[in-house]
């Protein structure tokens, strides 16, 4: 699947069909997980695939009673072999270990979308209870749970802060409009809204510039669009 389509279609799913997931597809997803980068290439992830109904129900309960999870035929628990990272990177090891597991989790979910499956990342759970259900050794932490299954969910719209609001150039707060940065073609005729969004988040000094007529990001942007 095209990466952009995959990113857009990968919406969190909390309603699953009563249909089992072929183990080969789970294998493909987990292999994608192992392609994640990791600090020192330590690959501190481990995955537990739970299909057993009793265990899944117990896990859902341990996730502060997120009962919708019971409907997912597979739970994947991404575990963090944290010690091997903290042994090598003492100060930042904990963070590196979590980050690597998070990337593995995202890879797993993207691959799931690619093969027609639906997922949801679950981070809200009682670690002690989940560790007990899965019989985890002391040095292995449950990092996140990914529910997996088929669904007839129609993708929801992307509820995202526009990218231009969260990007700065060269230093924090500097969000000078760059012509090539905004995917204008996608907005069709709705240029006014794009312009409004692109310029309304400007820093105060830029707003002043704009008010005094210097810089004029709005008119510059309009000019570009005309070209
Ligand atoms: C770190 C993290 C923890 C999350 N924990 C939960 C959770 O416990 N329960 C849940 O239903 N969704 C959870 N989510 C899913 C988010 O609610 C969801 O990604 C967000 O609302 C955006 O929706 P989307 O994934 O459909 O774009 C979590 C996501 C992340 C990244």
Which ranges in the chain belong to alpha helices (H)? Answer: 3-9, 23-34, 53-62, 83-86, 93-114, 127-133, 191-200, 204-211, 217-226
| Nearest protein Cα to ligand 1, atom 17 | 12
Instruction: Please write the tens of the pLDDT for every residue from 132-179.
Output: 999 999 999 999 999 999 999 877 767 889 888 898 888 998 877 666
> In the CATH scheme, what is the code of domain 3-149?
3.40.109.10
- pLDDT score of 2: 87
Residue 58: partners with Cβ closer than 8 Å, 6 or more residues away:
133
Tell how far the Cα of 124 is from the centroid of ligand 1, in angstroms. Answer: 9
C-alpha 189/C-alpha 183 separation (Å) is: 13
- pLDDT score of 160: 87
pLDDT at 213 over 50: no
134 DSSP 8-state letter: T
CA-11 nearest atom, ligand 1:
26
Question: What are the residues facing 48 on neighbouring strands?
Answer: 77
Residues 222-227, mean pLDDT to the nearest whole number: 42
Tell how far the Cα of 146 is from the centroid of ligand 1, in angstroms. Answer: 10
98 vs 188, residue with greater confidence = 98
- pLDDT score of 83: 96
Tell how far the Cα of 122 is from the centroid of ligand 1, in angstroms. Answer: 6
**Most informative mutation of 14, 60, 121, 142 for ligand 1 (most atoms within 8 A of CB):** 121
Three-state SS at 144: strand
Contact 143, 78 (CB under 8 A): yes
| Nearest protein Cα to ligand 1, atom 30 | 121
pLDDT at 76 over 50: yes
Measured from CB, residues less than 6 Å from any atom of ligand 1 are: 11-12, 66, 120-124
Q: Where are the domains of the chain?
A: 3-149, 163-226
**Most informative mutation of 15, 119, 120 for ligand 1 (most atoms within 8 A of CB):** 120
């Amino acid at each position: 699947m095209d990466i952009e389509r995959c990113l857009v279609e990968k919406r969190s799913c909390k309603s699953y069909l009563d249909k089992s997931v072929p183990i080969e597809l789970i294998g493909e997803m987990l292999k994608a997980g192992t392609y994640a980068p990791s600090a020192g290439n330590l690959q501190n992830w481990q995955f537990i695939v739970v299909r057993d109904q009793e265990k899944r129900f117990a896990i859902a309960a341990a996730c502060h009673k997120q009962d919708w999870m019971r409907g997912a035929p597979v739970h994947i628990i991404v575990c963090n072999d944290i010690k091997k990272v903290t042994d090598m990177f003492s100060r930042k090891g904990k963070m590196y270990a979590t980050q690597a597991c998070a990337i593995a989790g995202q890879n797993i979910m993207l691959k799931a979308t690619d093969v027609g499956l639906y997922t949801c990342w679950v981070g809200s759970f009682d670690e002690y209870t989940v560790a007990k259900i899965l019989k985890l050794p002391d040095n292995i932490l449950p990092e996140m749970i990914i529910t997996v299954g088929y669904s007839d969910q129609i993708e929801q719209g992307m509820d995202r802060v526009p990218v231009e609001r969260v990007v700065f150039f060269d230093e924090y707060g500097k969000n000078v409009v760059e012509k090539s940065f905004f995917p204008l073609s996608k907005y069709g005729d709705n240029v006014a809204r794009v312009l409004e969004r692109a310029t309304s988040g400007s820093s105060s000094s830029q707003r002043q510039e704009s008010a005094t007529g210097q810089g004029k990001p709005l008119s510059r942007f309009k000019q570009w669009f005309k070209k």
